[in-house]
C-alpha cells in the first residue's frame, strides 16, 4: 500500500512532543510509576482502584514516550563514533526500562514465570525502583529544562491526552484479550493479585517480605508478652490460645497473589482487655521473633485476630506458627508472623517501614 507508511509517520510526528518535553515526561512518568507502585502496596479496597488504573495507563504511555525518544537518539546508539562514556548509562537505563515494561506487561497477561527466591512481580518492582535513579542520572548528564516554546496549549494538551487515552485503550484491550483467551490474567482482584484456591496451609505460599527466615518456634518454650500502656503485663502460653474465634479473611500479598481462608484464633481485643490497656493507648504494635513488626490503631487492632489455625489446621511454621496476626483489609506484609510480643503504645511507629525491610538480615 504505497503512501501508507508516510501517513502513519506524519501522524506520529504530530503526536510527538518536543524532545525536552519527552525527556522530562519520561522522568515524570517513571517517578509517578515508582510512587504509585509503592503506594499501591497499601491498597486493598475499591477506593484504591483509580490508583491501580493510573499506574497501568501511565506505564503504557512510557512505551510511546520511549518510542519517540529512541527514534530521536537512534543514531547516537548505533553509530560507534558518537559514543560517549554516558552512552553506557543510557543503554543501561534503556535495558532497565525495557525490563520494567516487559515484566509489567507479562504480569497483566497472567504469566508468572518461575524464578528462584522471589515472586515474579517483585522483579517488576525491582526494575521500577532501579529506574528512578537511572533516569535521574541520565537527565543530569544532559540537563536541559523545558522552555516556554516547548508548550503549546492546544498541541501539548492534544498530545498528552492522546497518549493517555492510548494507554487506557491498550489496557482495556489487554483485559478483553485475556478474557477471550481465558488466561490466568482474568483470575485477579482489584490489586492485580491472582487467586490461590484451596484450604489450609498448603493452599497458598509461605512468604517473607525480604529476609525473614527464623528457625521453627518451639511452642513449649514460646510465650506471648503483652506490655506497654497496660495495667497488667502478661505472659501467655500457647495453651491459652484455644482457637475460639473463626473468621474468613482475605490475605493479599504484594507479591501478586491472594487467598481467602478461614482463620482460627483469639481477638486482639480480648488480649488487650485481659492486660487492661489504658485509656490513652492509641496504637498496638505486633513484634515477631525476628524483630519484624507492624502497628495498628488500637480500634482496628481490637478487631484483628491472633491466629493459631488456618482452614481448620494448626498453622505451619512457614505461615507463622505458633501465632500470627490476621488483619482483614490490610495487605499481607502487615500480617506479622511468629508474633511473640505486643506493645501497647501512645503513638505509631514510623521506623516499622525500615524494620520490615531489614529484619532477618544479620
Contacts with Mo ion, residue ranges (CB under 5 A): 207, 253-255, 332-333
Contacted entry of Mo ion, ligand MTE, none for residue 292, CB cut-off 5 to 8 Å set by kind = ligand MTE
Contacted entry of Mo ion, ligand MTE, none for residue 204, CB cut-off 5 to 8 Å set by kind = ligand MTE
Q: How many residues bind ligand MTE (CB under 6 A)?
A: 20
Interacting positions 89-108 with ligand MTE (CB under 6 A)? none
CB of 290 to ligand MTE, least distance (A): 5
DSSP string of 85-149, one letter each residue: HHHHHHHHHHHHHHHHHHHHHHHHTT-----SSS-HHHHHHHHHHHHHHHHHHHHHHT-----GG
CB of 334 to ligand MTE, least distance (A): 7
Rounded distance, CA 15 to CA 158, Å?
8
For residues 296 and 281, the answer to whether their CB atoms sit within 8 Å is no
Nearer to ligand MTE, 61 or 290 (CB): 290
Of the candidates 93, 77, 100, 85, the one whose C-alpha atom is nearest the C-alpha of residue 133 is 93
Does residue 352 bind ligand MTE (CB under 6 A)?
Answer: no
Interacting positions 114-173 with ligand MTE (CB under 6 A)? none
CB of 254 to Mo ion, least distance (A): 5
Does residue 258 bind ligand MTE (CB under 6 A)?
Answer: no
Of the candidates 317, 205, 203, 314, the one whose C-alpha atom is nearest the C-alpha of residue 256 is 205
Contacted entry of Mo ion, ligand MTE, none for residue 265, CB cut-off 5 to 8 Å set by kind = none
> Sign (positive/negative) of CA torsion 351, 295, 45, 186?
positive
For residues 138 and 93, the answer to whether their CB atoms sit within 8 Å is yes
CB of 263 to Mo ion, least distance (A): 16
Interacting positions 269-288 with ligand MTE (CB under 6 A)? 288
Of the candidates 33, 39, 72, the one whose C-alpha atom is nearest the C-alpha of residue 54 is 33
CB of 309 to ligand MTE, least distance (A): 12
Does residue 194 bind ligand MTE (CB under 6 A)?
Answer: no
Among residues 55, 121, 338, 343, the one that binds ligand MTE under rule CB under 6 A: 338
> How many Cα neighbours within 13 Å face the side chain of 154?
1
Nearer to ligand MTE, 54 or 250 (CB): 250
Contacted entry of Mo ion, ligand MTE, none for residue 288, CB cut-off 5 to 8 Å set by kind = ligand MTE
β partners of residue 228: 344
Site string for ligand MTE, 195-214 (x = CB under 6 A): ---------xxxxxx--x--
Rounded distance, CA 106 to CA 100, Å?
10
Contacted entry of Mo ion, ligand MTE, none for residue 335, CB cut-off 5 to 8 Å set by kind = ligand MTE
Rounded distance, CA 11 to CA 20, Å?
20
Count the neighbouring beta carbons within 10 Å of the beta carbon of residue 259. Answer: 21
Among residues 30, 253, 268, 281, the one that binds ligand MTE under rule CB under 6 A: 253
For residues 206 and 252, the answer to whether their CB atoms sit within 8 Å is no
- The residues of the shown chain that bind ligand MTE, judged by CB under 6 A, are 204-209, 212, 253, 288, 290, 292, 318-320, 332-333, 335-338
Amino acid at each position: 500500500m504505497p503512501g501508507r507508511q508516510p501517513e502513519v509517520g506524519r501522524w506520529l510526528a504530530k503526536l510527538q512532543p518536543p524532545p525536552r518535553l519527552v525527556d522530562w515526561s519520561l522522568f515524570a512518568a517513571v517517578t509517578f510509576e515508582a510512587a504509585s507502585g509503592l503506594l499501591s502496596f497499601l491498597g486493598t479496597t475499591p477506593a484504591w482502584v483509580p490508583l491501580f488504573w493510573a499506574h497501568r495507563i501511565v506505564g503504557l504511555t512510557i512505551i510511546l514516550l520511549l518510542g519517540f525518544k529512541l527514534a530521536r537518539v537512534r543514531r547516537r546508539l548505533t553509530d560507534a563514533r558518537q559514543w560517549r562514556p554516558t552512552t553506557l548509562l543510557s543503554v543501561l537505563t534503556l535495558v532497565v526500562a525495557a525490563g520494567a515494561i516487559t515484566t509489567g506487561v507479562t504480569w497483566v497477561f497472567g504469566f508468572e514465570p518461575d524464578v528462584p527466591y522471589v515472586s515474579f512481580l517483585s522483579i517488576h518492582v525491582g526494575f521500577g525502583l532501579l529506574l528512578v535513579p537511572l533516569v535521574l542520572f541520565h537527565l543530569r548528564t544532559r540537563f536541559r529544562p523545558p522552555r516556554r516554546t516547548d508548550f503549546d496549549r492546544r498541541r501539548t494538551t492534544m498530545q498528552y491526552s492522546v497518549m493517555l487515552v492510548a494507554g487506557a485503550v491498550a489496557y482495556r484491550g489487554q483485559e478483553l484479550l485475556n478474557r477471550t483467551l481465558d488466561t490466568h490474567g482474568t483470575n485477579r482482584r482489584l490489586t492485580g493479585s491472582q487467586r490461590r484456591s484451596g484450604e489450609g496451609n498448603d493452599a497458598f505460599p509461605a512468604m517473607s517480605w525480604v529476609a525473614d527466615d527464623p528457625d521453627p518456634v518451639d511452642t513449649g518454650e514460646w510465650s506471648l508478652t503483652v506490655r506497654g500502656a497496660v495495667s497488667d503485663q502478661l505472659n501467655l502460653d500457647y495453651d491459652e490460645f484455644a482457637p475460639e474465634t473463626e473468621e474468613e479473611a482475605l490475605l493479599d500479598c504484594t507479591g501478586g497473589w491472594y487467598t481467602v481462608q478461614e482463620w482460627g484464633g483469639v481477638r486482639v481485643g480480648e488480649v488487650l482487655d485481659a492486660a487492661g490497656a489504658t485509656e490513652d493507648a492509641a496504637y498496638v504494635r505486633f513484634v515477631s521473633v525476628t524483630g519484624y513488626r507492624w502497628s495498628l490503631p488500637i480500634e482496628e487492632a481490637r478487631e484483628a485476630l491472633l491466629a493459631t489455625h488456618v482452614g481448620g489446621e494448626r498453622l505451619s511454621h512457614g505461615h507463622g506458627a505458633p501465632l500470627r496476626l490476621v488483619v482483614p483489609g490490610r495487605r499481607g506484609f502487615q500480617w506479622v508472623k511468629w508474633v511473640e510480643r505486643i506493645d501497647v503504645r501512645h503513638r505509631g511507629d514510623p521506623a516499622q517501614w525500615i524494620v520490615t525491610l531489614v529484619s532477618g538480615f544479620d
